[in-house]
Amino acid sequence: MAEKMEQVQQTEEKQRVALHQHSAMTERLQEHFIKTLTKKEQQLFHYLQTTNGGIVSREELCDYLWKEPLNHSRMSQLSVLVKKIKEKLAAAGFSDDLLQTIWGSGYCLTPEFSMSLVE
């Protein structure tokens, strides 16, 4: 019985170490990813993070990023920003579907991703 308890404790300790190492690796990937973003991309990404997975309209994003109403030029710029962030997510080892386009509504980060980056 004591041997079994010792094995369980060792297994749990190994799992804690592995989880810590995974968290540290994910944190380094996140830091590297954030550093690859331009100033506007960072503003957009951080704003989406603050919504904890909520959908943010294109109008709201244009107002936040450029302090002006949505127009064709800004819609195009916003689309390019989102595309570039998705490309950089993929390049950093994350799935590009973590940043989602919700047609007719806006954009959002998956809740799991936004929560993990905010922590």
What residue type is assigned to position 67 of the chain?
A: K
Q: Does domain 2-118 have CATH number 3.90.700.10?
A: no
- Map residue 109 onto helix, strand or coil: strand
Partners of 56 in the β-ladder: 107
Under the banding of pLDDT at 50, 70 and 90, the label for residue 115 is very low
User: What are the structure tokens assigned to 12, written together?
Assistant: 């749990």
pLDDT (tens digit per residue) in 35-46:
899 999 999 999
Q: Which of 11-15, 71-75, 78-82 has the lowest mean pLDDT?
A: 11-15
Q: What is the chain's mean pLDDT, rounded?
A: 79
Whether the model clears a pTM of 0.75, i.e. scores above it, the answer is no
Residue ranges of the alpha helices (H) in the chain?
A: 2-36, 39-50, 58-66, 72-91, 111-118
